[in-house]
Amino acid sequence: MSNTNEIKVWDPVIRIFHWVLVAAFMVAYLTEDDFLDLHVFAGYVLGAAIIIRLFWGFVGTKHARFSDFVTTPSAALKYLKEILVLKAKRYLGHNPAGGLMIITMLMSLTLTVITGVALYGAEEQAGPMANWFLSNADAWEDVLEETHEFLANFTLLLVGLHVLGVIAESLIHKENLVRAMIDGIKRST
């Protein structure tokens, strides 16, 4: 790093995780029934990425750790109010509202993957949960399909809000957060 006003914030695990997540979520969302093999593959990639991220949240670098950014909903709300009056403090890691959104996105994605694997088992008698639905697949197919679809759409809604948040935060603090998620670097002050 040449500039002393620059600091490494996001380690490679976080950055690779993030862009794998973006690519896999887009592929999974756009393929759905039409390209089932690709859809299932993207879903497995998402599942593996989430497991690695959860592990990294306990043992990773400073700003990767959940202890660095998981906070209460009231702290997130307070931060959002500060954003509205343009008085929000700048954080090197995730801000309180961003942190809450990240946990919500990870939970929603996890449930989307789990219901996807279950649906794959019930509908196709394939995948790690196929044995769960040997005798009762018909009873589960519809409810799993509805739930999986709802969760995927809910996750997409969260992603939309997440991207809006990233844009707002970048404008307010005059920094490019997307670039930071690519090279890992932010200005230190």
Residue with smaller CB distance to ligand HEM, 48 or 139: 48
Q: What minimum distance in Å lies between the beta carbon of 130 and ligand HEM?
A: 26
Please report, as residue ranges, which positions from 48 to 87 form the binding site for ligand HEM (by CB under 6 A). 53
* 168 forms part of the interface with ligand HEM (CB under 6 A): no
- Using CB under 6 A as the binding rule, whether residue 151 contacts ligand HEM is answered as no
37-44 long-range CB contacts below 8 Å, 24 or more apart?
40/116, 40/120, 40/127, 43/113, 43/116, 43/117, 43/120
Give the range of 33-41, 110-118, 132-140, 175-183 binding ligand HEM by CB under 6 A: 175-183
Per CB under 6 A, does 152 bind ligand HEM?
no
Q: Is 45 in the site for ligand HEM (CB under 6 A)?
A: no
21 binds ligand HEM (CB under 6 A): yes
Q: Enter the tokens of residue 125.
A: 């008698």
Q: What angle do CA 137, 113, 169 make, to 5 degrees?
A: 150
Find how far residue 123's CA is from the centre of its chain.
Answer: 26
- Total residues binding ligand HEM (CB under 6 A): 20
Please check whether residue 42 is in contact with residue 28, taking contact to mean a CB–CB distance below 8 angstroms.
yes
φ, ψ (nearest 5 deg) of residue 184: 85, 0
Residues 106-145 that bind ligand HEM (CB under 6 A): 106, 109
The smaller minimum CB distance to ligand HEM, of residues 62 and 81, is found at: 62
Helix (H, G, I), strand (E, B) or coil at 112: helix
15, 181 Cβ separation under 8 angstroms: yes
Least distance in Å: CB of 45 to ligand HEM?
12
Residue 92 sits in the site that holds ligand HEM (CB under 6 A): no
- Measured in whole angstroms, how far is the alpha carbon of residue 1 from the centre of its chain? 29
Question: Could you list the residues that contact ligand HEM (CB under 6 A)?
Answer: 14, 17-18, 21-22, 25, 53, 94, 98, 102, 105-106, 109, 159, 162-163, 166, 177-178, 181
